[in-house]
Chain A
């Protein structure tokens, strides 16, 4: 697809653009191949005809592109059609200053490590509460761990062994607990700067209670036996414990300016960007 330019006496420019030449070989090849397959359920003569057509189509196609691709020239006369808009004014939020124009909100965020720390701290608090529940209720300190892993061991939660130590349950429950804690911690780190007021109240109390209610509403449908093993008051308490501890840990971390406006390569640490200050003439420094 190349292009030649010709000057015309009237000042306009006429260009010749080369486009791929139309060809019937692709349809012949496609029809031939279809007949080859159709012949399997109709008659071998149909397949034979299809094979001949397919072969012709393939050879014709090759001759179209080898040694050089066939093109046709298409002429075009240049006219200028300016791109315009019926809405030239750009609306801006009233409180926006020039510096905040197109700002990425929030202006400051918590670093990722804040979410990791919060998630890990919350996981310890939640694990402590869960083990405490097992001890206080007399079901054994391994009870909550086995319940968490019960989905992977169907039938086990109906047996007496649910209160005893099971290494495979401990392994799976630990992985699940750490992964989910880490995810929720990161979520805290990302969302706390966006919660306008009382972030600890919203993130540490309201959200865990809503989450507990949500889980309570569907766990009976998913696993009625598991549902019977859960003490929902303690479940909600452990969620709240996680939320408050994770929220406090995250909120005590130092916020950093958002880097959303920087290219991904810079944010990922692959490149370093020289600082540009438009007020100083826009020169990098």
Chain B
């Protein structure tokens, strides 16, 4: 790769009217703009889902509370879960994959730019359709509103007997629509990684970010398709006289569980693999060392991809499966801890002996390491069927799950925001506000989710509307709710930082972190074509090779 082949300025842009600018964004097929649209969309829904979570926690702050009605409470936890998984985390990961993938592999755009735009808009309209249920789901019965069947919508709750009106239909159709978008994006990511890598970038020289997103995209295709099929079957059950999930007519409610969790558990890895991708890029740069054990990290990623498709029924130990099934899913669940553990060891080994810089992205990644470890350990505990029989559907499960999604994934997403914000905006964020965000969110997270395990151990069921005093749950619930306000304050600081830094931040330059992957070789923000000349690379760290011509990586790879 030569230096002069990669740095080109943007063409000067004359001022345009608001309508012209709006049209540019709506009609764009540029992967960077679509990536930013995904992220803004996810941030909006993060605020909505955060408000829902706050209301849920206010309701549970003390016994016999009636801050909201039971009906509203059911809708809140359904919408919170659905929104966070499908309309916050997934758009976040697709946004980052869209923005960064072509830049990291030295391409000008995604393989199918128009499909990319179509996929984003399907995802966006899916979210709008879900929230349209709040005003549009009353149906003929006047009894509907937002969906209230929980984010995994077990049968027979979803049957017309128990779910009159159209609230469940909005849930079904919204996920169906956004699922089409997800599959489109996954196809695009796979095609981009496999077909558009720059000269010299063999699969073994790809950034780990690309590897992890490649496996993630494969998982999306494998796991979203069954969910989409199940949603169609549910629509058929509800309106065309089907009996797929109607036990009394020869169907099976358990089949829905299988369909949902054959999506639902790989989905956790769909969400966490991009978080791993961020950690795998951020930790080496702020440790000033190459990633430890690249081939093993790739192998562990692929292993996670395979094993994650064989663990789904550990969500169903309490259903009453056969011993053989229980044993199989216990063993497979334990097995997936091995490649995941390898990754954690490798990140620690990357930091070991490095010159660690505790910038905001690194702080979030370090917190992620420890929190994800705890999340994994409680996951192994629940992966043992007898343990799960005791704690299934308790707040222990809720705490574990949020440890994964918030403590693992969301922390990495925040780290990624701070790390790539200078590239996307051309401006540096405020390090002071970044650290304030980190500490507020860290304190809030641990107040909420550490202490949430305890009422779970004491028998507090998930989704409970309120509870009797004197069961030993009162104080824990109070602490848990207080933590939510710290988290909310952290997120407000984060949003304020993004907005303030975008308008008032210092100019970042092309490579503020002295990093090693290709996106840092082009302008900040990158021009529409990314690279004037397609770069050539010789190693996994092409910018290291340029910065240290006397000691290049390619001599050792």
Contact = CB atoms under 8 A, between A and B. Distances in A.
A31 B118 CA distance: 9
Interface stretch (B81-89, B361-369, B428-436, B527-535): B527-535
Interface string A1-40: 1010000000000010101111111110111011001101
A131 B341 CA distance: 34
Query: B interface, by DSSP: helix, strand, loop or mixed?
Result: helix
B166 interface: yes
Interface stretch (A106-114, A137-145, A149-157, A244-252): A149-157
A34 B137 contact: no
A224 B546 CA distance: 61
Interface string B101-131: 0000000110001110110011011101100
A81 interface: yes
A75 interface: yes
Nearest to B545: A83
Interface in A71-97: 74-88, 90-91
Contact of A25 (B114, B511, B533): B114
Nearest to B521: A83
A195 B177 CA distance: 55
A31 B524 CA distance: 33
A76 B527 contact: yes
Contacts of B109: 1, 19-20
A33 B122 contact: yes
Nearest to B25: A22
Contacts of A25: 114
Given A34-B129, A152-B324, A26 B29 contact: yes
Contacts of B523: 81
Nearest to A79: B9
A81 B139 CA distance: 61
A222 B386 contact: yes
B28 interface: yes
A50 B171 CA distance: 19
Contacts of A86: 514
A91 B327 CA distance: 50
Interface in B528-556: 528-529, 532-533, 543, 546-548, 551, 556
Interface string B1-34: 0011011110100000000000010111110000
B323 A152 contact: yes
B170 A41 contact: yes
Contacts of B511: 83
B154 interface: no
A78 B533 CA distance: 10
B29 A79 contact: no
A65 B29 CA distance: 13
Contacts of A90: 548, 551
Given A19-B109, A26-B118, A85-B514, A74 B529 contact: yes
A273 B137 CA distance: 67
A284 interface: no
A74 B139 CA distance: 50
B485 interface: no
A261 interface: yes
B525 to A, nearest CB: 14
Nearest to A42: B136
B387 interface: yes
Nearest to B235: A40
A97 B394 CA distance: 58
Contacts of A261: 556
A264 interface: yes
Contact of A34 (B125, B239, B355): B125
Nearest to A75: B11
A85 B520 CA distance: 12
B548 A85 contact: yes
B323 A80 contact: no
B416 interface: no
A143 B375 CA distance: 37
B324 A61 contact: no
Residue picked from A3, A37, A86, A261, most chain B C-beta under 10 Å: A37
A20 B510 contact: no
A40 B173 contact: yes
Contact of B114 (A20, A31, A87, A218): A20
A223 interface: yes
Contacts of A85: 514, 547-548
A246 B221 CA distance: 44
B404 interface: no
Given A22-B29, A23-B27, A84 B547 contact: yes
Contact of B295 (A78, A81, A264): A264
B177 A37 contact: yes
Nearest to A16: B529
A41 B173 contact: yes
B114 A37 contact: no
B27 A78 contact: no
A40 B109 CA distance: 36
B4 A22 contact: no
A225 B496 CA distance: 57
B29 A23 contact: yes
A34 B529 contact: no
Interface in B173-222: 173, 176-177, 180-181, 204
A81 B26 CA distance: 32
B354 to A, nearest CB: 10
A42 B137 CA distance: 8
A88 B556 CA distance: 19
Contact of A81 (B7, B114, B528): B7
Contacts of B132: 38
B3 A15 contact: no
Contacts of A81: 3, 7, 510, 523
Given A26-B117, A64-B114, A78-B532, 9 more contacts: A17-B532, A22-B28, A22-B30, A23-B29, A27-B26, A81-B523, A82-B3, A151-B327, A222-B387
30 contacts: A3-B533, A19-B108, A19-B528, A20-B109, A22-B29, A24-B26, A24-B27, A26-B29, A26-B114, A26-B121, A27-B27, A27-B121, A30-B121, A34-B125, A38-B132, A41-B136, A41-B166, A42-B136, A74-B11, A74-B527, A76-B532, A77-B11, A81-B7, A85-B548, A86-B514, A88-B547, A90-B551, A151-B327, A152-B324, A153-B323
Would you list the 10 A-B pairs with minimal beta carbon distance, nearest first? A81-B7, A30-B121, A26-B118, A34-B125, A85-B547, A26-B117, A22-B27, A41-B166, A20-B113, A83-B546
